[in-house]
Homo-oligomer: A and B are copies of this chain.
Amino acid sequence: MAFSAKTEYGLVSLLELAAIHPQGGVLQVAEIAARQGIPDRYLEQMLTSLRRGQILRSIRGPRGGYQLARPPAEIRIAEVVVCLEGEVASRGTAARQSAEFEVIGGLEGRLGEARQAILEGTSLQDLLDERDQRLQSQVMYFI
């Protein structure tokens, strides 16, 4: 898969939180984990990362939990992925200094840009819309 489990878990959680954001919704780690079948103590770490990245806000104590720090339309997936993947600045060893390696590096650059463009061009709201549409068509089948 294109994403690590960390990233998938984080994105899924954001989707759940985005769905109830208009009501200023708050969810607890355990709730999300249970609904999505994710180990809760593990999910905790992802949500902590997202809070440190200013994407989530947390409320401690009983009846606490997490909520989006911003409306879903203002959260780009690129930002989320960086936050969960951990940046990894200067990834990889310095490219070998041959024309051939440089050409390959150029290709890798184009791949990275294409990926970045998609991630940058997708907001949490976009994914939420997609989810709602998916749920709609599931309902259709029941009729």
Residues of A within 8 A of B (CB): 1-3, 8, 11-12, 15-16, 35-37, 77, 91-92, 96, 98-108, 110-112, 114-115, 118-119, 122, 127, 130-131, 134-135, 138
Return the 10 tightest CB-CB contacts between A and B, nearest first. Answer: A1-B92, A2-B108, A12-B100, A15-B100, A2-B111, A114-B114, A103-B131, A103-B130, A11-B104, A99-B131
Please give the distance in Å from A49's CB to the nearest CB on chain B.
Answer: 17
Partner of A103, one of B1, B110, B134: B134
- A106 vs B11: C-alpha distance when bound (angstroms): 12
Q: Are B110 and A114 in contact (CB under 8 A)?
A: no
- A122 vs B96: C-alpha distance when bound (angstroms): 22
